[in-house]
Structure 1
Amino acid sequence: MASYYEITSRGALIKGREFNFSNLYLYHIYNSSEPNQQQIIDNVSSTAMGGLTVNNWTVYDGVGSDATLGIFEEDRDWAIVGGTGEFAMASGVIKKTVYERTPEGTIIELTIRGFCPDF
């Protein structure tokens, strides 16, 4: 039996909350004695597929020495598709721009914009 797929337009209004975060900086360190990204399974050379890289990227509220790690004063989820708690069923986009290239890696500026429906 063939599969069936249908998209149906809905005219209903959805009540929810918009969230916007800007001036966040992700530190992507890969050329250091303490990298925060590591490839643990190499790609297949003929296809360049199949590799696995893990990361522990840090996000700060600035780029100076006084920047704060973690940026939130209380525990929160950071989800852009799905999520739990305050960010349940969140959807949105993250714009990333290379802010600075350093010998250790890159600093990436993040702008996050999304929406969470109210339940």
Structure 2
Amino acid sequence: MAYYAIAPILCALVQNELYMHLYINQVYAGQSTNQLVVITSSQPQGFGITVINDWPITDGANTVGRAQGLHFQSGQTSEKWYTSMNLIFEDTRFSGSSLQVMGTIPQDGEWSIIGGTGEFVAAQGIVEHNVIQEAGGARTYELKIHAFYTPMQSSGVGAYGCNSWKLGP
């Protein structure tokens, strides 16, 4: 028999708010592509085409991470690409941390932040993305990231006198 339990949180969890302004550089044609078509399609609109991506994330001149995941053509009557990827940070401040995002890839739109790791555990929020440049088989997206996350070394004082918690030993 299945069972469940619901318990109140006695300590207030501290949440941090994150704002980032970054860029993704997608190269979909030419000799230095950073994505690979792994499933092709003969359907109208390319329905079902699946692409694996490893796009650099920059803050302008510096690479600060990678957007690694997949996107596939999910529209039968129009070009609609669904994506699921990890924004994996490699810079000093957030090295090893990631944000998990999903959504569609129109020219401009939003992706949902559905999780995170490292510094960004349990992240939730939104990534606004806009194509700011497209030429020669390459596309640059501007990203405006807004998220909330709970650091694992969190502390707070609740009604019952709690003062800290920690995940793990």
Q: What residue number does 2:165 align with?
A: none
- Aligned-residue sequence identity (percent) comes to 26
Mark the runs of 5 or more structure 1 residues left unpaired by the alignment.
Answer: 1-12
Query: What is the CA RMSD across the aligned residues, in angstroms?
Result: 2.3
* Residue 68 (str. 1) matches residue 62 (str. 2): yes
Query: Aligned partners of 1:50 and 1:102: how far apart in 2?
Result: 25
Paired residues, number: 103
Kept after mapping to 1: 8 A contact 2:132/2:141 = yes
Query: Aligned partners of 2:147 and 2:96: how far apart in 1?
Result: 15
- Classify the secondary structure of the residue corresponding to 1:54: strand
1:10-68 deviations in Å (ceiling 9; x for gaps)? xxx7531001101x111010111110112110135168543321001011111xxxx01
Instruction: Look up the equivalent residue of 1:109 and give its one-letter code.
Output: E
Query: Aligned partners of 1:44 and 1:19: how far apart in 2?
Result: 42
Q: What residue number does 1:41 align with?
A: 39
Kept after mapping to 1: 8 A contact 2:34/2:55 = yes
Given candidates 45, 57, 60, the residue that maps to 1:59 is 57
Given candidates 98, 107, 111, the residue that maps to 2:140 is 107
Query: Aligned partners of 2:42 and 2:97: how far apart in 1?
Result: 34
With a CA cutoff of 8 Å and minimum separation of 6, indicate the structure with the bigger relative contact order.
1
Query: Aligned partners of 1:70 and 1:103: how far apart in 2?
Result: 24
Instruction: Indicate how the Cα distance of structure 1 residues 27 and 60 shifts in structure 2: closer, same or farther if over 3 A, else same.
Output: same
Instruction: Look up the equivalent residue of 2:127 and give its one-letter code.
Output: I
* Residue 26 (str. 1) matches residue 45 (str. 2): no
